[in-house]
Amino acid sequence: MKKRALTIFDRLRVKLHEVSIRVGLRVVYFRYIQKWVLLGAIIGIMGGLGTAIFYWLLDLSTIFFLSIIPANLGNSWIIVLIPALGGLIAGPIIYLLAPEAEGHGTDAVISAYHKHWGSIRARVPIIKTVASSITIGSGGSAGREGPVAQIGGGLSSLLAKILNLEIPDRRIMVATGVAAGIGSIFKAPLGAAFFGVEVLYRRDFEVEALIPAIIASVVGYSIFALIFGWETMFETPYYTFRDPLELVFFGILGFICAFIAILYVKIFYGVRNLFQKLPLPSMFKPSLGGLAVGVIALLFPQILGMGYNHIQATFSAQIPLMLMVMLVFAKILATSFTIGSGGSGGVFAPSLYIGAMLGGVLGQIFYIFFPEIVTQPEIFALVGMAAFFAGAAKVPIASIIMVSEMTGGYSLLVPLMLASAISYALSGEASIYESQQDRRESF
């Protein structure tokens, strides 16, 4: 009896221990959710408002450089000098005040995450906002993703310092800030959340940051859309996937996107390395890059700025086939000169542009030879955006979701998934974000 009683007592003690562990885990989990819901919401508010300010400044800069100046001077050749003028103004602002603000922004945030424990100087978001507004507004071939990533990440890093958070939490805050900025400017809250946790690695995710990233992205998106409207970025034709044979052509698109993505990365960093070797003060190099962009724009004015209007034109087959072919390579060169020279801007918009033109070319070719299968060639431009960026930036899931959200083209998920997966797999280690690590490491 005594032995039996002891056994019952031991079992009861084990059971109580198990219950206490479960309760403890639930308390810890509740505190985790409580903390990150609050911090995610605060980061979302900062990211949404910071992005709104940048968007407003960019509009003013674009009107000044590309409307007021040409209208007053009335000379078509002035287009050569406007991007150079933007670089001449932005260069000293960047290199005298915050050299981290040069280049495409997102890579600087990735570098801060991995190499600087999530620490970003407080002045960087301000300098990035001003410098990128000038660079893009003056016609530089760059996008808004890099600036808003650095704005959101920088504000989040500042908040982490104020709250005296530990390094792991500070790094999560930075990734969350990236998601808030991206979700706001592109009106793609779910895709941006995945972008924030996926862009840090080539083959992995920062899973701990996903919940706060989702919350921050939703809040930032809501604030930004409340100010500037809720409509999607692009209007796209209706499409329903019905013919499995069409997947063959979307697969070919993914293959070609992978090849061009590798070429894009090599040219981009080749130009960057060339500018780094030039015996010229760094603050003047963006103006030289801007001059090169202006020369290209004499032949292909479509490469100036972000080019969203030309992306939209590919969805209705308004751009001739041979022009789209030339614009693929002209945009690669213009982007490389703008950002590789030290100008301030992102690479997401140029990547969407290149992918749209590439998809538009292949879609028209497929339609010529296989009109009974490829009935809507313009859809390939939309799929090309996601597939190209998936290969060039190593963010396949974020690319698929973001393009779906930006276009409202959720019926395209099947071809988007196939083409993006192929492009991501075949592009190997090539990435436009050189600071990405392969996989997570414990810290």
- pLDDT digit string, tens, across residues 50-91: 999 999 999 999 999 998 988 877 666 788 899 999 999 999
End-to-end alpha carbon distance in the chain: 52
Angle separating helix axes 167-185 and 2-63, nearest 10 degrees: 50
Closest CA to 393 of 261, 245, 299: 261
pLDDT at residue 75 in the model: 67
| Residue 284 pLDDT exceeds 60 | yes
| Residue 430 pLDDT exceeds 80 | yes
pLDDT at residue 241 in the model: 86
187 & 42 share domain: yes
| Residue 238 pLDDT exceeds 90 | no
Region 254-280: what's the mean pLDDT? 97
Q: pLDDT class for 7, splitting at 50, 70, 90?
A: low
pLDDT at residue 10 in the model: 56
Region 255-272: what's the mean pLDDT? 98
| Residue 26 pLDDT exceeds 50 | no
3-class SS at 408? coil
pLDDT at residue 28 in the model: 44
User: Does the residue 322 lie in any domain?
Assistant: yes
Can you give the pTM of this predicted structure? Answer: 0.91
Higher-confidence position of 364 and 439: 364
pLDDT at residue 383 in the model: 97
User: Does the residue 376 lie in any domain?
Assistant: yes
Region 224-235: what's the mean pLDDT? 94
User: Does the residue 142 lie in any domain?
Assistant: yes
264 & 361 share domain: yes
218 & 276 share domain: no
Counting every residue written for the chain, the total comes to 443
Q: Which domain holds residue 372?
A: 246-426
220 & 254 share domain: no
Amino acid identity, position 283: M
The two tokens of residue 185 are 């400017």
Q: How far apart are CA 401 and CA 238, in angstroms?
A: 17
253 & 154 share domain: no
Q: pLDDT class for 101, splitting at 50, 70, 90?
A: confident
Q: What's the 3-state SS for 63-131?
A: HHHHHHHHHHHCCCCHHHHHHHHHHHHHHHHHHHHCHHHCECCHHHHHHHHHHCCCCCCCCHHHHHHHH
Domain total in the chain? 2
Q: How far apart are CA 136 and CA 344, in angstroms?
A: 8
Region 203-207: what's the mean pLDDT? 91
69 & 218 share domain: yes
Angle separating helix axes 145-162 and 2-63, nearest 10 degrees: 130
* CATH for 164: 1.10.3080.10
**How many other C-beta atoms are found inside a 10 Å radius of the C-beta of residue 408?**
15
Residue where a domain terminates, one of 195, 228, 261: 228
| Residue 316 pLDDT exceeds 70 | yes
User: Does the residue 126 lie in any domain?
Assistant: yes
Region 226-249: what's the mean pLDDT? 92
pLDDT at residue 11 in the model: 54
Q: What percent of the chain has pLDDT above 90? A: 80
Residue where a domain terminates, one of 202, 228, 254: 228
pLDDT at residue 431 in the model: 96
198 & 274 share domain: no
Region 241-262: what's the mean pLDDT? 96
Is residue 106 within 8 A of residue 347, CB to CB? The reply is yes
> Chain-wide mean pLDDT for the chain?
91
